[in-house]
Amino acid sequence: MPITELGMGAAQLGNLYRETTDAEAGAAVDAAWDAGIRYFDTAPHYGLGLSEHRLGAALAARPRDEYVLSTKVGRLLVPSGYPEDTMDDGGFAVPATMRREWDLSRDGVRRSVHESLERLGLDRIDIAYLHDPDDHGAEAHAEAIPALIELREEGVVRAVGTGMNQSAMPAEFVRRHDVDVIMLAGRYTLLEQGALDDLMPLAEERGVGIVAAAVYNSGLLSRPRPPADALYDYAPAPAELIAKANDIADVCEEFGITLPEAAIAYPLRHPAVVSVVVGMRTAEQVRGTAERYEREIPEEFWAALDDRGLVRRG
């Protein structure tokens, strides 16, 4: 598939943390297309289907064979029955007319894919990820992943894998199943490289692509200098991680680059990484992210990080 090295994460199009207008969402997708981005990632979880609706609408006029779209399975959206003024409690500024219900059964996975196709207005999904099955390992191995592979064989999806915030469990999926791609959020970044001990070498050996997401580690690496109240994994960042980010920023400044520029570039140095997905809300954010991606970074910078024990070379 013609997946681009820079992908657009569409959680923000589902009103992640705050409201985004339809116009802002459409303009962001237009800007991504103009910047050459051809990989777009969404999920039913993002805004209780709002992200899928908006992304599908924004891409409707684009040639279908010119972009790659991924969404996720594992949580169905069902009517909530909540009072009319109830808002979602999953981090998205949307009315809670629906609620998320875990279902990793074969039927649940198939239903999830077909409901996503309806929201997106598409007849196929390029990549279907099993979304955060951390507490559902047995069912994921026994039913969910085999169901995704079955859908791949039917041509409903083109590639399958998992999207998770850890590397150990995805490594087990790679060992045990014929998966194509893993979305790894936050575990192979400029700040931490634990995935080099399990998932990354296995993915390279088996020919499984890695999509690196959350490369800013929830914002800690999104600015030239991390603020004192920076987040890490959606919670206040520990002091030692802020200090490490500042140490890396020192080296960035020596070479005339910025921390977020290096954060986007680092995962792509590993041969298994096929794309870096960054969440973007507005056209301005898209253009800024594209500029960061296009920044040329000297090899000497990476050697300096390695020599000072700050970042492991992939």
CA distance 225 to 110: 44
Angle at which helices 283-294 and 22-34 cross, to 10°: 30
φ, ψ of residue 274 to 5 degrees: the values are: -100, -20
The answer to whether the beta carbons of residues 113 and 106 sit under 8 Å apart is no
| Long-range Cβ contact pairs of 301-307 (< 8 A, separation 24 or more) | 301/251, 301/252, 301/255, 301/257, 301/262, 302/266, 302/269, 304/251, 304/254, 304/255, 305/248, 305/251
Pairing of strands 68-73, 125-131: parallel
Contact partners, residue 131, CB within 8 Å, separation at least 6: 43, 45, 72, 73, 74, 75, 162, 163
Cβ count near 19 (within 10 Å): 11
46 tagged catalytic: yes
CA distance 184 to 248: 22
CA distance 135 to 44: 19
The single-letter DSSP state of residue 86 is P
Point out the catalytic residue in the list 46, 67, 188, 232: 46
Tokens of 103: 């279902």
CA distance 305 to 190: 10
By annotation, the residues acting in catalysis are: 46
